[in-house]
Structure 1
Amino acid sequence: MAAGSSSCSPVLLLLLFLASAGAGAGEASTTSTSTSAPALDQVCGRLGSYYVTPSLCFSALCADASSPCRAARDAPAVAALAARLAADNATAARDSIEAVFSPSSSTSSSPAAAAAAAARSCLQLYAGAVPALRWAARAVAAGRYRGAREVLQAAQYVAAGCDGIAGDAAAALPRENDGFADMAFVAHAVVASMSTD
């Protein structure tokens, strides 16, 4: 019972943030960007107070060569990109965990059964996070940062929660889980920085 309740509490936390964010959406703040530095450079350059280095910011937002990260025209566009990528990364992590630990890939050994049980709990975390992050991405795209900021903050704990639940089997989790951890960290910093503009 304790294991079930502890694996559900992050999901409930995400849902609580989502519910409380609906009515209290913040106003969009716009920032004029200088023509000498693209918006991405400006946004990534000001995230130090969130412990996000410019290189981590660039690598998270521009990981895919086809990413429109450099085409973002202003800070709100960078924030919308970050929130969308967080939702996309959570979806990819969930799908990868589901594929690795599908019922057809399970064996009867005790370590494999424990890993499969951990994966099911991890999938519950992502099942709550993905819809909340999709909502946050839509909110940020509409210029409403407050509720989205809290959802992204809570989402930072999903990947770590999966690692903790998996315990010794954490190495078996797909790399997308760690990729989501980085993306959620950066996306939260980007969106949180919009509140101070």
Structure 2
Amino acid sequence: MTSLLIVDDHELLRGALCAYLRADPEFEVEDAEDVPSAMRAIRRHGGYDLILLDFQLPGMDGLNGVREVVGANSNRPVVLFSGTASSTIGASALRCGAVAFLSKTMPVDELKLEIRNILASGSSSWLPANQEMDAATVQLTPRQEQVLRGIQRGLSAKEIAHELDLQETTVRMTMKLLFAKLHVQHPSEVS
């Protein structure tokens, strides 16, 4: 059984997500509402197979909170999970040891698929913190690879979303993180 910790201060979202994931016998799910309670849960449990960590939490202290949770989870996957954090924050979280940056706006079925993809890929398929990022060494998630193939074919975010049966906001979030990983400036960000 896969152990998950959902750390989010929005009780309705946290409760709904936990209930959805608990319905799958593959997952054992616990939750926490802030960083101090997450740290207590990690110590009590001995770490989790994967932690979904909201970025704006009580006791978070920005990226220091990400580092703290990553360190406490013994280098097992910690995923930044946010509806408001920018791609710059996502890229910084990756450098702090988070393995992915997922949007809260993604459909729950897709979130579950991304969780499985992250767990199946293991730590060796994710870019370690502080590693030099270039096209030859960056490891992409399966979703990022799909979006990159669409970009290479000249498709718009809307066309990629339609082709992959995703929401356009999910594709745009994936593109932002992909550009940050590859140190590519997105055309809309060029001054």
What is the TM-score of this pair, normalised by structure 2? Answer: 0.29
User: Relative contact order, CA 8 A, sep 6+: which one is greater?
Assistant: 1
> Radius of gyration: which is bigger?
1
What is the TM-score of this pair, normalised by structure 1? Answer: 0.28
